[in-house]
Chains A and B, each alone.
Chain A
């Protein structure tokens, strides 16, 4: 159902706060909230729950829903009322609601979500028998296995498994990394500082996270971006997508012990990062993206350098894919871990996992931003959703994003790279005393979600009195980790590492 139809038929007491081309925020009274979400979910088919965000100062809560058919987003805002709204009512439709809501510390303290304290169980480390939650002790269970070396090479996540005849019966996880409270630390800070700090959240994803934050504010405030800046942003988005796919291929080849493929992946990563560092001067790509455009123009000689290096790497990746397709061993080994598309939708998981299990959804095509509607590219789709499908899909998507980069490089527009109002040197010439960009912003909340190869990334930003009072960056990786509990049933223990890595869970994005 299209967004216009939904907005024409909302209940009387609800009001539309903000309406952009593919987004709407609706305020609903707390008594009507559950009925309204039922109506949207069942009648209008807004299936995927993207994010839940809470504003303590106003005592408000907002849910962000996406429809797979039209790729339009509805934000539902209500008052926080623990007596009326309860999490257990909504978790029937949206399985990922607990993992989204868990990210707030205040939730665990308040009564709003009952029973959420038990969600992350305190697990004693290095005591395998206690760490696994066995609800019913079965006589058939021979051993409890805690997989040590193969999984936690980096020491970020532990998985513990109850097995019978080398087949998993039950699985539990434990996040070892320290929670950094990034979202809380970035509140009430100038926007330029926030843009800088956000760069170090996740390594290869830095451009996508920053561009997503910029887009949320730019679309809300209707800021125009020059054509050249849009093209440069597209190039960086595709670069980070390529790096993510190669990271994925390397992790799969590591766990299948395909050493030559793993080493060539490392060399590709290094070469591509060199091309990007030639542009930006550092591996984090600091000081490039701002609101209103891009700060640094294309350096002299970069286009040729980029074109030659990328052509080499693209050909090497194509050759590797041919080798894998010709060899039946890969298909036999990786024919595991089937995902059902309906489960993925219920868990709110997006991007490449959806495409691997047969759903044609690409935000670049459907909700196209920048020049994605003018560039020619295909969206590869696999049907069965096995690990093999995900691997081949990674190769094919990598190839497509190479071609997007070549098309953009061939047709790079000329002109300015930053909007005149937001250009710092122009503002100095005008004799302005206050250099903060925030005074151009409207009050209100803005939401934007973008798709990287691994996961969906959402940002919500609230601005009040020309200051950023609240910021939240979130992704679907925690709900993926919860989905692994279902997916791992009846999988051989030896294959668990492969299934876990094929879900592409980023430990940096688990608890931001």
Chain B
């Protein structure tokens, strides 16, 4: 099948549909996911196709949604739940941290939490407050969870399908700013697994590590710096937990320089972990300290200021230039 270009939202929709077709014990539920098809239309048409028992709206109860998924898992159901926006996932944190993440261990593997938590996340959409946050560190820091975030439509399809099929709970952070980005190609689960990153552009001077919407921005920066004779390698981390330590180490050793880019505030952001891994895995090969280009350590700003908060192509290029000149 030669597919035409699909948006990320459409690819995610296809992943849900194909998963629902494949597994009759799979349920999709959350706020406005049923008759309306989700505020970003990711669940569009699913209730009509699979019925109100398998794709359903819930009351506005994020803790209830996550907790119900736990109870359903005890009965052998698999759930894909949607938290409508990043900051609205916080009421569910107790259920996610205390139970979703730990139940497999607490029952010594007898009860698996085959739960996928979809969270439209990150900024760049001129959103109201509480609609643009980067919550990944909370989830990555919680043992028992896996955390993924796609940067493109086809990988969004792949990652969501892999997340749903995974016996462990997976948090899927969907970059809202990329929902309408298009990619051409076949929708397939073949390719990198959860736990693996992917190299999107090869280069020998420095590696840019990024995820989500920052990947496209890093590719732009790489394009811009090629004119200056700087060969940038761009790695889409995509699996934030577990991280692809092998790939991070290898790229850092081969290029000798690394810059990490994310939207989340700098302090204890994922960049700190990547920098520590680079030090552990590639210390003798490093030509410069690892640089971090991130959001600032402030609450996410209003729409009129977000271009000053999010890493820009220019900020990324500056960091690379400093790293190369070190």
**Is the pairing of A and B real?**
no
Which residues of A are at the interface with B, using a C-beta cutoff of 8 A? none
Which residues of B are at the interface with A, using a C-beta cutoff of 8 A? none
